[in-house]
Amino acid sequence: MSAEPAVQLRLLDLQALDSRLDQIEHRRRSLPALATIAEVESRLAALRDRIIAAETEVSDLERVLAKAESDVEQVRARSTKDQDLLLSGRVTSAKELESLQQEVASLARRQGDLEEDELEVMERLEEARAALGALTAERAGFTAQLDAAAAERDTAWAEGDRDREWVSGERATVLPDIPADLLTLYEKLRADHNGVGAAALRQRRCEGCRMELTPTDIGRIRDAAPDAVLRCEECRRILVRTPESGL
Ligand SMILES: [Zn+2]
């Protein structure tokens, strides 16, 4: 394969632009904000279940408390009714009066027990509400972290998009200068060799694999026609001669 020295140098320009596009893509994927987002999202997911459990506990206790309040209210109403009856003077039979007094006393005990239960439920409800409040505060903290990381990601990505657009524009101006057969070889080598298909020869060193060429290879390159497309003996990449090749 052969290509004018100027065309071969143009291939190095293409390689530089392709490497920049690869870097932009790599930065995009390895953004620290992405790791933060993944971590905070998994924490939020775990928190979601705990918040649902805490909310369920609060609503269950609210129901238990409402029932306890209504139980107390019923006993209190019954007791008030009995006491009104006692005070009304309408009950005159000693036996009935005694039975009524016994009922009032029994209702007072019952009310005391129920009020104790009610108080206990109120305390548990207060604790459950505090636990729920702590969890929702934790969620708010994570949500803020998530928003900040997403904003950071979006800014970096927008910057990457602008860079990519610019580099792609440059690449489009270089591409017509590269003959099809050279481009095909370059693309194949690029795919096989970690994104680098063409490398400059500088100071007797292949910039693709960083190996210094042997005197035999240097001699061979010196003798080669200027438009010959050379390959590095070590890494097989296209080796482009430059004014700094040290030949
Ligand atoms: Zn090499």
pLDDT, one tens digit per residue, over 185-230 is: 999 999 999 999 999 999 999 999 999 999 999 999 999 999 999 9
Q: Are strands 238-241 and 198-202 parallel, antiparallel or unpaired?
A: parallel
pLDDT for 226:
95
What are 154-187's pLDDT values in tens digits? 999 999 999 999 999 999 999 999 999 999 999 9
Cα 170 to middle of ligand 1, angstroms: 26
The answer to whether 8 and 241 have CB atoms below 8 angstroms apart is yes
How far away, in angstroms, is 237 Cα from ligand 1 center?
6
Q: Order of strands across the sheet with 238-241?
A: 205-206, 198-202, 238-241, 230-231
CA distance 178 to 6: 10
How far does residue 194's CA lie from ligand 1's centre (Å)? 12
- Distance (angstroms) between ligand 1 centre and the Cα of 122 equals 78
Q: Give the confidence band of 243 by pLDDT, cuts at 50, 70, 90.
A: very high
* pLDDT (tens digit per residue) in 46-63: 999 999 999 999 999 999
Distance 236 CA to ligand 1 centre (A): 6
Q: What's the confidence (pLDDT) of residue 19?
A: 98
pLDDT reading at 27 higher than 90 = yes
Measured in angstroms, how far is the CA atom of residue 241 from the centroid of ligand 1?
A: 13
Q: What percent of the chain has pLDDT over 70?
A: 100
In this predicted structure, what is the pLDDT of residue 109? 97
Grade residue 145 by pLDDT with cuts at 50, 70 and 90.
very high
Q: Which two tokens stand for residue 7?
A: 């065309």
pLDDT score recorded for residue 91: 87
CA of 182 to the centre of ligand 1 (A): 17
Assess whether pLDDT exceeds 90 at residue 136.
yes
Q: pLDDT tens digit string along 69-109? A: 999 999 999 999 999 999 998 988 999 999 999 999 999 99
Kindly report the pTM of this predicted structure. Answer: 0.75
Interval between CA 218 and ligand 1 midpoint (Å): 13
CA distance 149 to 83: 68
Q: Which residues surround ligand 1, an ion (CB under 5 A)?
A: 206, 208-209, 232, 234-235
Question: What integer pLDDT is reported at residue 68 of this predicted model?
Answer: 96
**The pLDDT of residue 66 is above 90:** yes
Task: List the Cα angle 184/24/168 in 5-degree steps.
Answer: 50
